[in-house]
Structure 1
Amino acid sequence: MGKGGAALSDGVVKKIIPSYTYVAIWIFLSFTVIVYNKYILDKKLYNWPFPISLTMIHMAFCSSLAFAAVRLFKIVEPASLSRRVYLTSVVPIGALYSLSLWLSNSAYIYLSVSFIQMLKALMPVAVYSIGILLKKDSYKSNTMSNMLAISVGVAIAAYGEAKYDSWGVFLQLGAVVFEATRLVMIQILLTSKGINLNPITSLYYVAPSCFAFLAIPWLFVEYPVLKQQTSAFQFDFVIFGTNSLCAFALNLAVFLLVGKTSALTMNVAGVVKDWLLIAFSWSVIKDTVTPMNLFGYGLAFLGVGYYNHCKLQALKAKEAQKKVQPTDEESGKLLEEREGDGMGKKGDSQA
């Protein structure tokens, strides 16, 4: 009994340690990229307020490394995607991703890190609402009530924001909507077709389309301004190189975390990361965090926590059902075999 318990605990520990390691890596990289992007884009810090250009640098860097891994060094095999599947599935996801990154990076120019994390609490609301609109999810009154509670919490946090900026809020909410749509579209366009992309192949296919879509607004919005500032600005390869490397590592960490644990684990880890960022923003960056901010976000946090709890319970119920079904089938087969044996014995005795 003691040996069995020890073996069981060792097995649990061996499973838990890698999971916590993946979570820690993702939190660290996500934290680093957010703070680094804020540093580069903020006018009071590095003062390079060109979010489209920064996102394009990230996508160019990720595309190059992914291309080298797939085509030059052949570390991973490319997915068997037809041109039709690429154009109808990957390209729309790339377009949504580019818009999400562009708007979220733009928001750092106008809003504090802490307030942006509070607004991101609306992600489950956006994903659930868009899932219903696109008929990927079904309407449930208790879930919708939970979504309403999260929304009210974020609204209270916004009301208590000391440096509220309407344009910044609009940009961040737009980023949430595009990111939520992208997540739902991944389920509809890729998962439903049985297409599974690993971290490298995802960047290999998606990053170039992101870069192409971002190039269109960049030509009209940022290129003319950058052209005028070329004499005054010198490209810092250390700053932008390390920033891009962090962005690339974060993309890998996202797929590693979801692949080795689950999307639900990432959601829970995201809540921990948000609290850490709010604390960092208040203590180190010296952003103003009001009691109203914390009360509103606390309410939203409870809503998100309850939502994740419900999803976890549903997931456990589904897994339990899967385990029960094969047992029932095996019992049925065993019963049939026994009946067959019984009939065979009867036949033998009659003969």
Structure 2
Amino acid sequence: MSGRSVSSSSAAAAAAAGGSGRLFTIGLVAAWYSSNIGVLLLNKYLLSNYGFKYPIFLTMCHMAACSLLSYVAIAWLKLVPMQAVRSRLQLLKIAALSLVFCGSVVSGNISLRYLPVSFNQAVGATTPFFTAVFAYIMTVKREAWITYVTLVPVVTGVIIASGGEPSFHLFGFIMCVGATAARALKTVLQGILLSSEGEKLNSMNLLLYMAPIAVLLLLPATIFMEENVVGITVALAREDFKIILYLLFNSCLAYFVNLTNFLVTKHTSALTLQVLGNAKGAVAVVVSILIFRNPVSVTGMLGYTLTVIGVVLYSEAKKRNR
């Protein structure tokens, strides 16, 4: 009798632990979605609706927050063990990644000045296409033919969405494509540059070293391309102090995008992450349309849907051909 009670209590404890683990994972995914979509929408609001037309300075604020909060999370809170930079060559590789990362984020923020979030996300969904192209060019790594076939609807969908986008802006579109290509390039470069066992860094430590370098790269660009932005921001704050709160909250949210992405990756499978990532883009589109009320066309939505279907097929083809 006692043996049965012990085994039943153990089963109950295991079930409770499993339930709390599922709740924790659901909470992580919700935080990941909220931070990702939140920073995207707030960037759009600041750069387009609010009229704060300084995407490079905004990106520099993001990187400054990532520098500080990364150090707090790793050195003080010990969320992950700190990994040291082992050589000057490794630091140069990290700097190269940081430069590409800066280009991606700045271009993405510039595109949000001119394009609605829904179209921005449609173009961003073509990341697998650029990743496959750069991987082929830089590593001569060939995928199975079916994997390349699945990229056809990815690109076709964006072409259709572009033709049916009521708020299409050529410069914004070019910036958005550039941001997507740079994001893919960073992924491929990271795999090449930090591929040896001694140089591999987890995403939290990589951000810890990349973010301060990004600030140093963005500072001269901000000074020369967005003249007197600090003075303008101070003048804006005197009229409406909320701009400071917006910038602080937005910058912290940019860090939490990276933190929650790391935690979701750690606590779910790669396949789950891919599925969640595809769904996240669709959620962002719906939420942005509800908030900003930007006009959408049936053609545009069909194009975006085709792109998402292509991305799902691409992910499935990659998984089957590993």
TM over 0.5, shorter chain: yes
* Alignment deviations for residues 103-127 of structure 1 (CA, whole Å, 9 cap, x no partner): 0011110000100011111111011
Distance 1:257 1:176 in 2: 22
2:120 and 2:176 in contact (8 A); partners too? yes
Are 2:247 and 1:244 equivalent residues in the alignment? no
Q: Deviations over 1:248-287 (max 9, x none)?
A: 1111011112222244433321221111122122222101
1:259 matched to 2:263? The reply is: no
Matched, 1:28 2:34: yes
Question: 2:280 corresponds to which residue?
Answer: 273
Change (3 A) 1:110 1:170: same
Provide the C-alpha distance between the structure 2 equivalents of 1:119 and 1:172, rounded to a whole number of angstroms: 7
Matched, 1:93 2:119: no
Measure how far apart 1:214 and its partner are: 1.5
Residue 162 of structure 1 aligns with which residue? 166
Distance 1:142 1:70, change over 3 A: closer
| SS, match of residue 233 in structure 1 | helix
Tell me if the contact between 1:130 and 1:181 (Cα under 8 Å) persists in the aligned partners. Answer: yes
Tell whether the 8 Å contact from 1:199 to 1:256 is kept in structure 2 after alignment.
no
Correspondent of 1:297 among 301, 304, 320 = 304
Give the direction of change, closer, same or farther, for the CA distance of 1:260–1:71 in structure 2 (3 Å limit).
Answer: closer
**CA–CA distance in structure 2, aligned partners of residues 154 and 299 of structure 1:** 8
How far 1:196 moved relative to its partner? 4.1
Aligned to 2:53: 49
Q: Quick one: distance in 2 between partners of 1:299 and 1:74?
A: 43
SS of 2:83's partner is coil
2:229 maps to 1:226 = yes
CA deviations 1:141-183 (Å, max 9, x no partner) are 2221211221011100011000110000000000011110101
Paired letter, 1:98: C
| Superposition deviation, residue 215 in structure 1 | 2.0
Identity of aligned residues (%): 29
Q: Structure 1 residues 20-29 or 115-124, which shifts more?
A: 20-29
Checking the alignment, whether the CA contact within 8 Å between 1:121 and 1:301 is kept in structure 2 is yes
Matched, 1:173 2:180: no
**Against the structure 1 CA distance between its residues 285 and 231, is the aligned structure 2 distance closer, same or farther, given a 3 Å change threshold?**
closer
Name the amino acid aligned to 1:260: H
Could you tell me how far apart the structure 1 residues matched to 2:265 and 2:91 are? 25
Give the partner amino acid of 1:80: A
Distance 1:114 1:230, change over 3 A: closer
- Structure 1: which amino acid aligns with 2:264? L
Counterpart in 2 of 1:341?
none
Report the Cα distance in structure 1 between the residues aligned to 2:135 and 2:21, rounded to whole angstroms.
32
Q: 2:319 maps to what in 1?
A: 312
Instruction: Give the AA of the match of 1:312.
Output: K
Distance of 2:316 and 2:101 partners within structure 1: 28
| TM-score (normalised: structure 2) | 0.86
Q: 1:85 to 1:258 in 2, by over 3 A?
A: farther
Distance 1:285 1:139 in 2: 40
Q: How does 1:1-351 map to 2 (within 5 A)?
A: 10=15, 17-42=23-48, 45-70=49-74, 77-135=81-139, 137-222=141-226, 224-226=227-229, 229=232, 232-234=235-237, 236-314=243-321
Any unmatched runs of 5+ in structure 1?
Answer: 316-351
Q: Please tell me whether the aligned partners of residues 147 and 318 of structure 2 are also in contact (alpha carbons under 8 angstroms).
A: no
Moved more, 57-66 or 156-165: 57-66
Counterpart CA distance in 1 for 2:90 and 2:80 is 19
Quick check: 2:204–2:262 contact (8 Å CA) kept in 1? no
Distance change (3 Å), C-alpha of 1:87 and 1:233: same
Residue in structure 2 matched with residue 331 of structure 1 by the alignment: none
- Cα deviation for residue 194 of structure 1 reads 4.6
8 Å CA contact retained: 2:86, 2:199: no
Cα distance in 2 between the residues matched to 1:314 and 1:12: 32
Bigger relative contact order (CA 8 A; separation at least 6) = 2
Q: Cα offset for 1:198? A: 4.1
Aligned CA distance change for structure 1 residues 12 and 133 (closer, same or farther; 3 Å):
farther
Kindly report the root-mean-square deviation, in angstroms, between the aligned alpha carbons of the 2 structures.
Answer: 2.6
SS of alignment partner, residue 229 of structure 1: helix
The letter of the residue matching 1:245 is C
Displacement of 1:231 in angstroms is 6.7
Q: Check 1:287–1:80 CA distance in 2 against 1; reply closer, same or farther (3 A cut).
A: same
Q: What residue identity is the alignment partner of 2:66?
A: C
Q: Secondary structure at the match of 2:235?
A: coil
Kindly state the Cα deviation for residue 23 of structure 1 after the two structures are TM-superposed. 2.4
